[in-house]
């Protein structure tokens, strides 16, 4: 066994470790942070995420914050490292982006299911909205190793909210950029440019990571153009490890029945056509009436 992952971590494919911040830098509107977390680095696959504790051992902020793994280096100079890209939106993420080198953060991971990889070298389109592109470069590398033609679409509200345009040009066979305000690339949404890219490359799989609305439209476009969508969702999570049932969403199983499934363990990557997009509405997800165990009329 290499690295410092314990036996239990290997058996459980998950570990908890106190990670040292060794680098942190501003990239547009985001903070790109590198952590020494050899256990996570050794076990992780693209599409998985980590959950960071906020504010130290006696912090009144109890719930962990989840971040897609941008990249891992299992055997760096400092031991294995894990990188994340953080958008500071509230108190927890602000605390995280304020960490300086040599500070420590308690990390649990890797969590959730990774992006499934195609068995044949089919063309793939990777679509990232804002920091949603973070896990896609690593994925692109793995796909190209398998002989897949890989194109990337990066979309954001404005240029400073794009992440990784330069890296995308280096790691993919083609890159298209869109911004809502036209400050970079095409003015508009990723769904405006996606149909042509799928058709031109004859793509078999579209991978997506970003806001829910974007994932829904990627799924629609992929379906209409004969590709399978694999999307990584972002739901509010209290535990990230499958014990609390807060992160659920309605998803159709292989038996054709809808269940409220935990996006932290059964996701965050789902086949887009399995997600019950019809149940989502402005930050809420309803329990569809045909869901297994749905409340009957007049309560349970």
Partner 1 sequence: MVDLSVDLGGGHRLPNPLMTASGCAANGKELHRFFDVSDLGAFVTKSVMADPRSGRGTPRMAETASGMLNSIGLQGPGIEAFVDEDLPWLQSVGARVMPSIAGSSSTEYAHVAATLRASRAFDAVVGVEVNISCPNVANRGLVFACDPMASAKVIALVREQLPRDIPVFAKLSPDVTDITAIAAACVKAGAEGLTMINTLLGMVIDTDLMRPQLGGVTGGLSGPGIRPVAVRAIWQVRQAMFEGRIPTVPIIGVGGVRTGRDALEMVAAGASAIQVGTVVFNDPSAPVRVLRELCELLEAKGYDRFTDAVAVAHGR
Ligand X SMILES: Cc1cc2nc3c(=O)[nH]c(=O)nc-3n(C[C@H](O)[C@H](O)[C@H](O)COP(=O)(O)OP(=O)(O)OC[C@H]3O[C@@H](n4cnc5c(N)ncnc54)[C@H](O)[C@@H]3O)c2cc1C
Sites of contact with partner 1 (CB under 8 A): 8, 11-14, 16, 53, 60-64, 106, 108, 235-236, 238-246, 248-249, 259-260, 265, 279, 283-287, 291-295, 299-300
Q: Which is nearer to partner 1, 120 or 282 (CB)?
A: 282
CB of residue 46 vs ligand FES: minimum separation in angstroms? Answer: 20
Q: Evaluate whether 258 touches 290 at the Cβ level (below 8 Å).
A: yes
CB of residue 276 vs ligand X: minimum separation in angstroms? Answer: 18
Q: Which is nearer to ligand FES, 224 or 243 (CB)?
A: 243
Does position 239 bind ligand FES by CB under 6 A? yes
CB of residue 5 vs partner 1: minimum separation in angstroms? Answer: 13
Q: Binding residues for ligand FES, how many (CB under 6 A)?
A: 12
Does position 224 bind ligand FES by CB under 6 A? no
Extract the tokens encoding 73. Answer: 């280096």
Does position 240 bind ligand FES by CB under 6 A? yes
Cα separation, 191 vs 179, in Å, equals: 11
To which H or E segment does residue 50 belong? Answer: strand 49-52
Q: Which does 234 bind (CB under 5 to 8 A by kind): partner 1, ligand X, ligand FES, none?
A: ligand X
Cα separation, 80 vs 18, in Å, equals: 13
CB of residue 244 vs ligand FES: minimum separation in angstroms? Answer: 3
Q: Which is nearer to ligand FES, 39 or 112 (CB)?
A: 112
DSSP output for 86-147: E---SHHHHHHHT--TT-EEEEEEEESBPPPPPSS---EEEEEEGGGGTTHHHHHHHHHHTT
What is the dihedral angle through the alpha carbons of 73, 98, 247, 179, rounded to the nearest 10 degrees? -80
Q: Evaluate whether 51 touches 11 at the Cβ level (below 8 Å).
A: no
132 CB burial (10 A radius; 0-12, 13-18, 19+): buried
List residues near ligand X by CB under 6 A: 49, 63, 65-68, 84-87, 89-93, 131, 134, 234-237, 268
Choose, by CB under 6 A, the member of 19, 84, 264, 279 that binds ligand FES.
264
Strand 284-285 versus strand 280-281 pairing type: antiparallel
Contacts with ligand FES by CB under 6 A lie at 237-240, 242-247, 262, 264
């Amino acid at each position: 066994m290499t690295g410092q992952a314990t036996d239990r971590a290997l058996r459980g494919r998950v570990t908890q470790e106190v990670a040292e911040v060794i680098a942190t830098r501003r990239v547009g509107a985001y903070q790109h942070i590198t952590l020494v977390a050899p256990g996570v680095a050794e076990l992780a696959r693209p599409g998985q995420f980590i959950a960071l504790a906020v504010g130290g051992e006696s912090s009144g902020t109890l719930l962990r914050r989840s971040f897609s793994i941008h990249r891992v280096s299992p055997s760096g100079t400092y031991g294995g490292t894990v990188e994340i890209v953080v958008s500071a939106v509230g108190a927890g993420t602000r605390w995280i982006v304020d960490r300086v080198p040599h500070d420590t953060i308690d990390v649990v991971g890797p969590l959730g299911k990774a992006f499934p990889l195609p068995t044949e070298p089919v063309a793939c389109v990777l679509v990232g909205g804002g920091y949603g592109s973070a896990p896609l470069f690593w994925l692109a590398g793995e796909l190209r190793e398998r002989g897949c033609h890989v194109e990337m679409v990066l979309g954001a509200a404005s240029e400073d909210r794009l992440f990784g345009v330069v890296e995308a040009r280096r790691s993919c066979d083609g890159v298209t950029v869109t911004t809502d305000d036209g400050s970079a690339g095409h003015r508009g949404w990723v769904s405006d440019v996606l149909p042509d890219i799928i058709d031109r490359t004859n793509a078999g799989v579209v991978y997506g990571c970003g806001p829910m609305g974007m994932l829904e439209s990627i799924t629609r476009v992929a379906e209409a153009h004969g590709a399978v969508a694999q999307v990584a969702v972002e739901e509010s999570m209290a535990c990230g490890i499958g014990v609390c049932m807060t992160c659920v969403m309605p998803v159709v199983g292989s038996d054709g029945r809808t269940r409220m499934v935990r996006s932290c363990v059964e996701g965050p990557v789902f086949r887009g056509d399995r997600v019950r997009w019809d149940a989502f509405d402005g930050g809420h997800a309803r329990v569809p009436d045909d869901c297994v165990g749905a409340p009957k009329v007049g309560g349970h």
